[in-house]
Structure 1
Amino acid sequence: MRTGLKGYKNLGAWTRCLVLALGGAVALSSCGISYNSPKVSERNGELPVSVVGMTARSVAYANASPYTPRALPDVFYAYAGSQGSVTGAGALPAAPYLPDETRRQMEYRPLPDINPQPYRIGVGDVVLLATRSSASTIEQLSGLLAAQNQRQGYTVRDDGSIAIPEIGAVQLSGLTLQEAEDRLFQALVSNQIDPSFSLEVAEFRSKKVAVGGAVKSATLVPITPNNLTLGEALIAAGGLVTRDEEFASIRIYRDGTLYQIPVETFRAQPQLSDKLLIAGDAVYVDTTYDLDRAFEFYKTKIDVISLRSSARSTALQTLSSEINIRRSALDERRALFNAREQLGAEKRDYVYLSGEVAKQNRFALPYGQQATLADVLYNEGGFDNTTGDPTEIYVLRGSNDPAKIGEIVAYHLNAGNAANMILATKFEMRPNDVIFIEEQPITKWGRALQQTFPTLLNSATSAL
């Protein structure tokens, strides 16, 4: 006893403090003073908790619980060309139909059938007049004959007539080939000229169809007496150039209406290639709906084909004004929704993060799609594995069954093996899920010592 007391007296002051501190720790522990860290227990008070290991089977079971992500308002799927009443600049004359373009099955708006019509000569066409040189009156007709059989081309002028030497102007615009021959016959006879001739259209310039968009080469395709089909127009433009045909469509703009044929439907129904086109049609192969691009194409179509002088400018200004008004209305409604969401006035679904995560926070589940455990963890910065235990990651999910209210399932992910993080990319989150990560054992000990050491030190100092 004397030797032990002497040894105790020979201990340094700091060592004696430490011994007393450790003794104080035991004393404090016996008094119920200790560090408590959160953890997942099989039972917590009256709430029954079932811990289930996260495996491929349990992930499939958890994902089977019904949940439909909230959808954005319709205004985020609308575009400036949508239908509806328009205020401001006034409604467009015969406004084109602009179908909804979202990633779903495309609407089929068939092009109406039309009856084949005989070709009518128009302004810009070049007609070829063939005459015989055996009669002296032929020289009076052409003025340029030097061979036995002469062929002379005449361009239909802006006033719809052709000018023949010694005869004058003959109106041909709007006439079929047979009607034009009859009118020429009467003009020759009335001028006492041998009416032996033949007439044909050498160049078709008055009636055209514009083809653009996802084709090899945008072009203007003339309409001939043989008529022009949709398939022939696309071939003349080099054919379709589309990578994802399920999102591609053939749109035909005709007389203020936009018709739509999905490319998949066009491939599946060969008879659609035989649809007849008429003068002024515009064919546009679209892969994704782009209002500005489509507007530029229709603007060019209107410039080249439809309107003249001031009428053309007025129509384009009206169309541009209407699109700007609609676009401004959409922007205003979207901005209002964003403001309401920032103020918390829009209902959202949340997942909560606790424990050793980068930040105690809540994560808003995205609109229109599922979010996984990996999405939530890494979107919020993940966790620090120096303090968080990767072997103790839990997703706590309450029961939606009123008969089992209060029951909790804790899906346990052991990410000590990094390969198991693949399961986190498959595990779908549900509203009100809680993601919890426990502390490292050394972290618990360090924090407990950090909090109790000042008290123990004071106790030891007082004892000394």
Structure 2
Amino acid sequence: MKKLHAFTTSALLLSLSACTIPGGHIEGVSAHDREELSEEAQFDITQQVNTIFITPQVLNGIKETEPTASQNPVLEKELQDYAYTVGIGDVLTITVYDHPELTTPAGQFRDPEDAGNLIDASGSIFYPYIGRVHVDGRSVEQIREEITQRLSRYIENPQIDVKVAAYRSKRTYITGAVHQPTVMPIGNVPVTLLDAINSAGGIKDDADWRSVILTRNSQDERLDLYALYQKGDMSQNRLLRHNDIIHVPRNDATKVFVMGEVNRPATLPIHRSGLTLAEALGNVGGFDEMTADASGIFVLRASNDPSKVADVYQLDASNAAALILATQFHLKPMDLVYVTSAPIARWNKVISLLLPTVRGLDDLNDLENDL
């Protein structure tokens, strides 16, 4: 799988490098193809893509709702009703007041967990007088009640206390782009997703905050830590259970490609607060005013329409005031930003040669998500 990933990445990089160089023409295209590029009237790209001019109305239509602070009543109820249930490997300490012969003393050199009652592989413990007691999956209160009831046959009105001396049966795993990947035990204090991330030292700079995966019973749930940490959206928090896996992916797949008539063509990461078209152009030094066609700033995005290859958003920045729209256009992972020097009439031909790259980038994004 790693070899496949490396091969796919290399192939796409070669495709990108072969498709564009400063000057707006296509490197590696045959002379016959270049002649065809001048025959604009014979080519119609509209059947393969959705062409959309960036306007205030379009921005309002594609604008995603920003997360806001909210409560999580389901989580609050779970925390309120939380009761730890013991399991195989846990150690119990059982005290019978006024009957020291039934209480194993910890002693000066013995820890309570060494002196306690280990829950064996059958989920049971052995206790004097009453024999084996099945405790797996039960709370300490339930265990106390059963031992009290059974021991009262031999002791009048026994006063019993049951505690967990060692929590060994339940755990959750924190992996990926955190500072200290760890196995975190679950005990009598409930553990939430927020607690687990903090116990792992927090998130690294190269983490994808918006795509944290919680795996439970072989089912994946995608959670947004940006909404949780930055916006206070508690609906993204979860009460963790035994064998839950929290994976914080790297932001390798959250990137965009800026190409064409810009000063420094580059691959740019999308940081946790997002990346706008204006920021992307600014990060590559802007477009080349000597060679770029300001009316030809394009964003190519894989289309959700199965009958189309891509959605192509066009920004006409020949009027500088239109650049304000670029500050409101938020890019998505694997978007391709292209600034052309060609007249718009020729762009149909240019875009037709870029479409395989867009499709390949979308396939690579799906492959990285699967990995």
Q: TM bucket by the smaller chain?
A: 0.3 to 0.5
TM-score, normalised to structure 2, is 0.45
